[in-house]
Structure 1
Amino acid sequence: MRTLAIGDIHGGLRALIQVLERAQFTTNDTLVFLGDYVDGWSESAQVITYLIELSKTNECVFIKGNHDVWSEEWLASSFINEVWFQHGGKETIESYTGFSEEQKRAHLNFFEAMPLYHIDSKNRLFVHAGFTSMHGVERETHKETFYFDRTLWEMARTMDKRIQKNSELYPNRLKHYSEIYIGHTPTLYYHTYEPMNAINVWNIDTGAAFTGKLSAIDIETKEIFQSDLLKDLYPNEKGRNK
């Protein structure tokens, strides 16, 4: 039995299927998705359909990302956030062509049920972006932080690895959890297609929305599984601009 943490998919159904196949996943595996299932490549609605079906055979956790918040808002009210529309929302709307109102309602229910974070039995935290409360996620007062914050990752990146967890120099935010798994900030910003680790934080967003890959990690062994580059899986599409 494994737990696989999977990064931001952004409408890349082909990459999702490929990375799960390369991980040789079975129904015994727990799958924790770190958010941003939609907005980018042409199969956002199809990704959601696939994930709903996947949840019937596997134990799955679907964390909510900022793009999921925008898509949920559109499905609920037809409101089009202009920032969202320019950052993948247009492609998501187009992917729903031919979907019935009943199917859209099922997808809306799926988005609405997503938690903002998940803590497992070994005190590992899974969240889309981060949090700012020094007391941990339970004391976070602004829910938007869970899917927009980048300061947690920036802080972890700047830390000297020689600082021990029992040191007063070790940030309180990082002390609460044995490990923290995030997406949201593409590792392409740091010129790598691989997941990155800083102190006890693992960033699994390897730029599937752009020119990168979709990644999954076995959180026990740290074995990494990756898709091909999304631009190669969708050669007739442009994806989003980094």
Structure 2
Amino acid sequence: MNGRLIAIGDIHGYNVPLQTLLQAIAPTENDIIVALGDYVDRGPDSKGVIDTLIQWGQKTQIVALMGNHEEMMLDVVRGLEPHHAWLKFGGIETLDSYHFNGDLDFLPPEHLEFFDSLGDYFVHDDFFFTHAAYDPHLSLEEQPVDMLRWYSLREGIPERHMSGRVAVVGHTANPDAQIVDVGHLICLDTKCYGGGLLTAMELPSKRIWQSTPEGVLL
């Protein structure tokens, strides 16, 4: 039995609206929920967001992608990069949610397992999903990681991907909390962390669920 395909934009530590959307969507074991990355940083409850995604992953199919904020956090946790840049872009709020006490080994084992499971892209039917963007002239297997996780659509929206599929991305927050839909690309980052909305979209119908940061379903 075929289920629904639903993508959720950048969550950034806002667990209350995430729970609001998931309860409204009420996904079943046949549905696929694609989380587009940036679960942590900036918002008040990054730890709670990961707990929620893990819990719902026992009821439905959660496909979670790696965002640039997860990359920053994991690079610090693994001792690959200094902490300064991460803290500047919301890491302090993440550490607070985990009750950080000075030990970088603060992630519970089940959260480490979740972060280790994150992919760079996901393909389903006529759609593909990445956190940030893509190079239209390269196959998904050949995509540079910086393009998948860091590229801002403000630098220009890439043309249709060579596969012909529609891209669904996050990362580039719309200050007006509007979905960007140019036909071959849809961006679902409606800036929940900046007073906007958290957005989920069913595909291909484009049915929308949105919540305020306080958890009010629109």
Q: Look up the match of 2:187.
A: 203
Partners of 2:183 and 2:114 lie apart in 1 by: 33
Match of 1:214 among 198, 209, 212: 198
Partners of 1:73 and 1:25 lie apart in 2 by: 32
Kept in 2: contact 1:42–1:95 (CA 8 A): yes
1:108-165, CA deviations, whole angstroms, 9 ceiling, x for partnerless residues?
2211221111111x1411000012251232222x312210012598225xxxxxxxxx
When Rg is computed on C-alpha atoms for both structures, the one with the higher figure is: 1
Q: What is the TM-score with the length of structure 2 in the denominator?
A: 0.87
Q: Look up the match of 1:226.
A: 210
Partners of 1:98 and 1:70 lie apart in 2 by: 17
1:113 partnered with 2:100:
no
Kept in 2: contact 1:132–1:151 (CA 8 A): no
Number of corresponding residues: 212
Query: Percent identity between the aligned chains?
Result: 27
What letter corresponds to residue 220 of structure 1 in structure 2?
A: P
Partners of 2:27 and 2:61 lie apart in 1 by: 12
Counterpart of 1:60 in 2: which secondary structure? Answer: strand
Q: Look up the match of 1:13.
A: 15
Partners of 1:52 and 1:76 lie apart in 2 by: 22
Partners of 2:149 and 2:81 lie apart in 1 by: 20
Q: Look up the match of 2:169.
A: 182
Match of 1:143 among 122, 142, 145: 145
What is the Cα deviation at residue 3 of structure 1?
Answer: 1.1
Q: Look up the match of 1:75.
A: 77
Partners of 1:13 and 1:213 lie apart in 2 by: 12
Kept in 2: contact 1:129–1:149 (CA 8 A): yes
Partners of 1:144 and 1:108 lie apart in 2 by: 22
In the alignment, structure 1 segments of 5+ residues that lack a partner are: 157-170, 234-242
In the alignment, structure 2 segments of 5+ residues that lack a partner are: none
Moved >4 Å (runs of 4+): 98-103
Matches within 5 A, 1:91-130: 91-97=93-99, 104-120=108-124, 122-130=125-133
Q: What is the TM-score with the length of structure 1 in the denominator?
A: 0.79
